[in-house]
Structure formats: structure tokens, C-alpha cells
Amino acid sequence: MTTKNTLSITDNRTGKAYELPITDGTIRALDLRNIKVDEEDFGLMTYDPAFMNTASCRSAITFIDGDKGILRYRGYDIAELAEKSTHLEVSYLLMNGELPTKEALAKFENEVTHHTFLHENVKDFIDGFRYDAHPMGMLVATVGALSTFYPEAKDIRNRDNRRLQIVRLIAKMPTIAAWSYRHEVGLPYVYPDNDLGYTANFLSMMKRMAESKYQANPVLARALDVLFILHADHEQNCSTSAMRGVGSSEVDPYSAVAAAAAALYGPLHGGANEAVLRMLNEIGSLDKVPDFIARVKSGEGSRLMGFGHRVYKNYDPRAKVIKKLAYDVFEVTGKNPLIDIAVELERIALEDEYFVKRKLYPNVDFYSGLIYQAMGFPVDMFPVLFAIPRVAGWLAQWEEMLADKEQKISRPRQIYTGHDVRPYVTIDKRG
């Protein structure tokens, strides 16, 4: 049999046959529009709630093979990047497609370092939040507010201008994040320290008190940098789709990043590591683990948080790195006692038929919360710690979208299920 890269369809409503090209394992949804019952007919559409089987773009940034547990940025394996690279180098890679030369990296690091300050009015803006405001809510609002400080950011078709806003965003996210935290706990804001690297500076803005200079423990600064690398991009997830969708209206990048960060705020996306900590606290001791697993399996209890993933049907490669990292951090901070419960949960789950059959493995959130907690971050900072590095991925995806000639303003179709036309009824005649 000769094979062709096409799909033959017979429309049984009309008996007509169609042949659609297959490219990269996809058919074009618009090709289906030629399939009509008659000339009046709109044409066939696909129905795909939650985009379970629809590619919305072509992308050369991040590759995931969920069955094999592979994650690569621009072709580089995530474990190798976590071992050998830095978050700023990875941000450059995501944005530019190639690893930087020594000079290019030094220039990029220098630019980011010199854009970490916020306009003084941003302090007043953050001061306006209630004393107990959630830092993620403050981050979403403040990053959006930056668009009013940089009105030139609207000129998104100018590459140099775009690059300046990208540097500003990567540079200012840690400052906004740290100041949101300081506001929440009622501590004075700490200005950026240009002598420090990206994560050491963030830790300084989070933790500095009366000392004239804050020197973060290098193991902890490096651990945070690795966590930032692991969280920098994850192809077309909910927040990245929000970035692309909102960015497709050609709004400035601060507004689009605010939308993406808002998507990340949701418990199904950036909030699962908090749920893992709550679960481990609830279990409380090693002897309760078998009973907890039994309740998960019977459906009486909650799910095993930090397990399972829409895409990974194998060990999440990020979880592997984080598990090892946890022990490096505990060498400095002392062991988080919850790690023993986590390891025992994982051991039992990976041997249990229920989890094996459903291909449920630890995901990125299973161990990350334990590290954040050991480093002294409060639970409500966890999604913020996710948003800081992910801004690099959002911006890389945004630039790729703007350069893609096939992209237009994002606008899905719907299947209308409401009333047919009906006459207006005046209020005195309504039952």
C-alpha cells in the first residue's frame, strides 16, 4: 500500500469525500470548514474544551515528552541545565534560542542587575494594600501597574523597545515579590543590591534586617537558582496560554504578564505545592502513611497531592532534581521533618498497583514546598516563587508569538446552546 500524508474523510451527511493534508501529526482545523452540508452551512468545526487535543501554535522553545519524562529548553535537557547553568543564562537561552557567549551573558546579567529598582511611587502603591494582602495578589496588581510607568512598552513591534521591557520585567519581578512579602509582614522594603547575583539579591530583599549587607548562604542562593531554572518554562500550560492569548491583542507586556500571573495564582496551577505541605502536615507521622494511601485509593480521602500530571505519565524530570536538591538545602537549614513522610509516601505509591496502573508519579510540586519551607518562605509566597522565574518563559513565548506570521488575535469558536430569538417581555408581563 502506498502511504500519503493525508487524511480521507467521508461526510456521511452528504456522501462527499475530502482529503486533508497532515503536517507534523496535525490537520488544520480550518480545512474542516470546507466540509459543509450546503452553501449556507458554516462548515465543520472541532469541539475541544480545555484544549485537550489542539495545538494552538508552533513553538521552538520547550519540548516535553510526557510518556518518557523528558523536558528540554531549546534542546537542552532540564537536568543538565539544572546542574550546569544559571537562571539568567537559561532566561537568555529561552529568549534567544542559543546559550550566550561569555560577553553576551555578562552584558545580559549587567542589564538585569541595573534594572532591579522600582519607581518610588510603586512603594506607595504596595503600601495601599491591606496589611494581610496575599503577596500573589500584590504581585499580579503591581506588575500590571508597571505598564503605567512605562507607557512606551505599548510599542510592541519595536524589537529594541521589546527587549528593554523584557529586561525590566525579569529584573523587577524579584523586587516586587520581595516587597509584597515585606508589606505583608510589616517590614521595611529593602532596595536591590547591585553587588549580588539574581537570587542572592532576592534573598537580601526578602531577609535583610539591620545589617548593612545581607550575604545569603551560597548553597541556598544556588538551590533557589536551580528551582528557578526548573520553573522557567513549561510550554503551553494555563498561564503561558493566558500570556499568548492576552498578548495576542497586542497589549503591552506588563499587562499580559499580569494576566499570566493571575492564571498561575489558581490552585490547580501554581498552588499545588502548598496543598502538598498541608497534606504532609495532616498525615503527621510515618505510621499514618499506609492509612492515608488507603483512603486516597478508596476515594474517601483527598488525592495524593503532588502526584500525577496532565502531561507527564512518568516521573516528572523536575521532581527528580528537586528531591536531590532538598537534601542539599537541609544540610544548611536542618532537615524538614516532613521529608521522611514524603519519601515514604512516594515509596509506597510507586509500588502500589493503583498508582502504577494510572501512571501517577511525583510532579514538580511534591518536594519543592519542603525546600521553600526549610528556607523560611511562608506558604503564600510559594506561587510568587513560581512566578518570578516563569516570567522568562512567558516573555519568550510572547516574543515567539509576535514573530509568528500565522498568529492573530486569539479568538476561539463556541457551540451556542442558548435560546433561539425571542421577543422582549416587559417587566409587568413576566411571571
Is residue 272 near ligand ACO by the rule CB under 6 A?
Answer: yes
* DSSP for 28-62, written as a single string: -GGGGGG--SSTTS-------GGGSS------SSE
Shortest Cβ 360–ligand ACO spacing (Å): 5
Nearest to 177 by CA among 216, 214, 135: 135
Whole-number Å distance between alpha carbons of 360 and 368? 18
Residue 307 touching ligand ACO (CB under 6 A) = yes
Asked if 364 touches ligand ACO (CB under 6 A), the answer is: yes
Which residues lie closer than 8 Å to 97 by C-beta, 6 or more apart?
A: 60, 74
Contact call for residue 283 and ligand ACO (CB under 6 A) = no
Q: How far apart are CA 371 and CA 308, in angstroms?
A: 20
We find the least distance from the C-beta atom of residue 263 to ligand ACO, in angstroms, to be: 11
Residue 335, all three cell numbers: 532537615
Considering the complex, what minimum distance in angstroms separates the CB of residue 48 from ligand ACO? 15
Nearer to ligand ACO by Cβ, of 156 and 341: the residue is 341
Q: Does 388 bind ligand ACO (CB under 6 A)?
A: no
Shortest CA distance to 232 belongs to which of 318, 154, 302? 318
Q: How many residues bind ligand ACO (CB under 6 A)?
A: 16
Interface with ligand ACO includes 309 (CB under 6 A)? yes
> Of the ranges 116-124, 149-157, 250-258, 359-367, which one interacts with ligand ACO (CB under 6 A)?
359-367
Dihedral of alpha carbons 301, 304, 306, 309, sign: negative
Q: Which amino acid is at 328?
A: D
Question: Rounded CA gap, 279 and 217, in Å?
Answer: 29
Supply the minimum distance, in Å, between the C-beta of residue 293 and ligand ACO: 9
Pick from 100, 245, 308, 369 the residue near ligand ACO by CB under 6 A: 308
Q: Does the active-site annotation cover 365? A: yes
Query: Quick check: 365 binds ligand ACO (CB under 6 A)?
Result: yes
Q: How far is the CB of 349 from ligand ACO (least distance, A)?
A: 8
Using the minimum distance from each CB to ligand ACO, give the nearer residue, 182 or 318.
318
Tell me the backbone φ, ψ of residue 20, rounded to 5 degrees.
Answer: -110, 135
Please, what is the minimum distance in Å from the beta carbon of residue 416 to ligand ACO? Answer: 27
Least separation in angstroms between residue 272's CB and ligand ACO is: 3
DSSP string, 187-254: -------TTS-HHHHHHHHHH--SSSS----HHHHHHHHHHHHHTS--SS-HHHHHHHHHHTTT--HH
Chain residue at closest Cβ approach to ligand ACO? 308
Nearer to ligand ACO, 180 or 273 (CB): 273
69 lines the binding site for ligand ACO (CB under 6 A): no
Q: What are phi and psi of 17, to 5 degrees?
A: -110, 145
Is 114 tagged catalytic?
no
Q: Which of 269, 340, 352, 404 is catalytic?
A: 269
Query: Does 358 engage in binding with ligand ACO (CB under 6 A)?
Result: yes
Instruction: Check: CB of residue 399 under 8 Å from CB of residue 257.
Output: no
Q: With binding defined as CB under 6 A, does residue 274 bind ligand ACO?
A: no
269 catalytic residue (yes or no): yes
Exactly one of 225, 316, 365, 380 is catalytic; name it: 365
How far apart (Å, rounded) are the C-alpha atoms in residues 418 and 183? Answer: 47
Q: Is residue 306 close enough to count as binding ligand ACO by CB under 6 A?
A: yes
Query: Among 116, 236, 239, 363, which residue interacts with ligand ACO (rule: CB under 6 A)?
Result: 363
**237 Cβ contact partners less than 8 Å away, ≥ 6 residues apart:** 269
Residues that bind ligand ACO (CB under 6 A): 269, 272, 296, 303-310, 358, 360, 363-365
Which residues are known catalytic residues? 269, 309, 365
